Amino acid sequence: MDSDEEKKPLLGSNEEEGDYEEITGCGGSLPCDPRRSLHRYLILIIMCFLSFGSYFCYDNPAALQDTMIKDLDINESTFMGFYSWYSWPNVVLCFFGGFLIDKLFGVRLGAIIFSLFVTVGQVIFATGALFKNSIIMDVGRFVFGIGGESLAVAQNTYAVKWFKGRELNMVFGLQLSFSRVGSTVNMNVMHPIYNLLENYLKGYKCLGAALYVGAFFCIFSLICALSLAYYDKRADRILKRKALSSDEKIRITDVKDFGLKFWLISIICVAYYVAIFPFVGLGLVFFEMKYGFSPASANSVNSLVYIISAVASPLFGFMIDKSGKNIFWVIAGIVFTIGCHGVLAFTFINPYVAMSIMGLAYSILASALWPMVSLVIASHQLGTAYGIMQAIQNLGLAVISLVAGFIVDAKGYLILEVFFLAWLCLSLIAAVLLYLVDAAQGGKLNLSSKERHGGAEKEVVVN
């Protein structure tokens, strides 16, 4: 009996309507009926906006780098501390975000709580700027970080609950793309907002007011969390759904079972990502100083990585899913990124070219790297594996963000680019070693899609 229940789709089918609560009137119309596809796609729109505020505010410092340093009278090291303080709580919390949602809060309450952390953190951050107090701003970014990564876990849990067995891969791709849209909008609107407010306020007062605008986007995402909670509870009642629980439990003792390939994947991840996100965080002033761009033009070129990845990530994910050969795709992404940083460091070629290619390379690597974890780790250990991988990534971002700020203060942007190139070379070495180790063990990670699906006994999970 239980196995029969497990085989039923989460949202059922029209033929099984007798199992559901009867709904009449407006509630039974296509947009309001949780049994209908139209209702699910309307819910998907709300899901995508759930993390919009978080991604919009994450790069508020990058969009206002020059004005923030000037108005607050701080150096690059203090400025990059705003990114570091976001990452520190996630060195630990990424282990427990899924556990808190599964076992303590539930996805509805969890999404609301984490949205509140994001909103409160942004308000504290803006208040610190309003009073020209960088310590208060650091506290705000720490609180913001507590909610940011865990809110993404809640978003993914909602996606699985509403779309499992249907269009789940497409939904994950859309959510990733939409998060990059939030980052892109931030990069292109925060400076105009600051310039508009400068007609009424000056200096750090204007900066604080501009950051409060970001808080309104967080409030909007909080409203989305409340709306999702209402519609999800209503769907549970109508469809008689049981609570969704994950079989991916967080067990730190599973680490002893992880092989060399997993740790090489983790090294590739951290060594690559520390050359992307801290660079974007410091990119505004770099493009102003080296290429003589205005703040608006510098923000436009700095946001290209996000703009392009928003479109390219789902497309490359589809291509890699069809072609396989994940390690070759990862190596290609790293090599192209090394070339882009080299062009930015040692030439004066139009940076739009390098940043556009970097956006494509980032999309390739992200689409090929994360799914490989599910190929080397047993399914019941994936929660632990992804938690460790994200913890290592956040630890790297926290430390390297601070180091990058120190390098800019002491040596300038050329040495910073050399520093990023060194990390990318480490990532490339790890990728080549991964290929050699995998080839010696049968080449599972670099199989073509046809070979993988022909001989695989496990379902490939695309993250």
**Residue 62: what pLDDT?**
92
Residues 353 and 397 in one domain: yes
Residues 238 and 271 in one domain: no
Residues 425 and 304 in one domain: yes
Among 196, 170, 186, residue whose Cα is nearest residue 55: 186
**Residue 317: what pLDDT?**
78
Say if 50 falls within a structural domain: yes
Dist. CA 62–CA 284, nearest whole Å: 7
Which whole number is the average pLDDT over 152-173?
A: 71
Residues 218 and 263 in one domain: no
- Residue 2, classified by CB atoms within 10 Å of its CB into exposed (0-12), middle (13-18) or buried (19+), is exposed
Q: In the listed set 221, 246, 271, which residue is the last one of a domain according to the structure?
A: 246
Residues 212 and 173 in one domain: yes
Say if 3 falls within a structural domain: no
Dist. CA 6–CA 452, nearest whole Å: 27
- CA distances to 377, 437, 439, 448 from 445, in Å: 12, 10, 8, 9
Q: Tokens 């909610």 — which residue? A: 147
Residues 132 and 276 in one domain: no
Which whole number is the average pLDDT over 137-156?
A: 88
Return the beta strands (E) in 267-360 as ranges.
none
Q: Residue 381: which pLDDT band, with cuts at 50, 70 and 90? A: confident
Of all residues in the chain, the percent with pLDDT exceeding 90 is 53
Q: Residue 234: which pLDDT band, with cuts at 50, 70 and 90? A: confident
Residues 395 and 304 in one domain: yes
Q: Is the pLDDT of residue 101 over 80?
A: no
Instruction: Name which residue leads in pLDDT, 439 or 91.
Output: 439
**Residue 154: what pLDDT?**
81
Residues 52 and 82 in one domain: yes
Which of 10-14, 180-184, 341-345, 452-456 is predicted least confidently?
A: 10-14
Instruction: Name which residue leads in pLDDT, 18 or 156.
Output: 156
Instruction: Fill in the DSSP letter of residue 245.
Output: -
Residues 219 and 271 in one domain: no
**Residue 350: what pLDDT?**
94
Hey, which residues does 448 pair with through a beta bridge? 324
Per-residue pLDDT tens over the stretch 19-77:
555 555 455 555 666 667 778 888 888 988 998 999 999 999 999 999 999 999 999 99
Average pLDDT, the chain: 84
Say if 6 falls within a structural domain: no
- Residue 205, classified by CB atoms within 10 Å of its CB into exposed (0-12), middle (13-18) or buried (19+), is middle
Which whole number is the average pLDDT over 355-379?
A: 87
Number of domains in the chain: 2
The domain in which residue 272 lies consists of 249-463
Amino acid at 74: I
Output the domain CATH number for residue 439.
1.20.1250.20
Q: Tokens 């009278």 — which residue? A: 73
Say if 83 falls within a structural domain: yes
Which whole number is the average pLDDT over 296-300?
A: 90
Say if 17 falls within a structural domain: no
**Residue 41: what pLDDT?**
83
Q: Is the pLDDT of residue 321 over 90?
A: no
Residues 225 and 269 in one domain: no
Residues 106 and 209 in one domain: yes
CB 408 within 8 A of CB 416: yes
Q: In the listed set 186, 218, 246, which residue is the last one of a domain according to the structure?
A: 246
**Residue 83: what pLDDT?**
94
Say if 15 falls within a structural domain: no
Say if 11 falls within a structural domain: no
Q: Is the pLDDT of residue 6 over 70?
A: no
Which whole number is the average pLDDT over 265-279?
A: 95
Residues 212 and 259 in one domain: no
Say if 18 falls within a structural domain: no
Instruction: Fill in the DSSP letter of residue 32.
Output: T
Q: In the listed set 246, 262, 282, which residue is the last one of a domain according to the structure?
A: 246
SS3 324: strand
Q: How many C-beta neighbours within 10 Å does residue 164 have?
A: 14
Residues in contact with 414: Cβ distance below 8 Å, sequence separation at least 6, in sequence order: 345
**Residue 426: what pLDDT?**
98
Tell me the pTM.
0.80
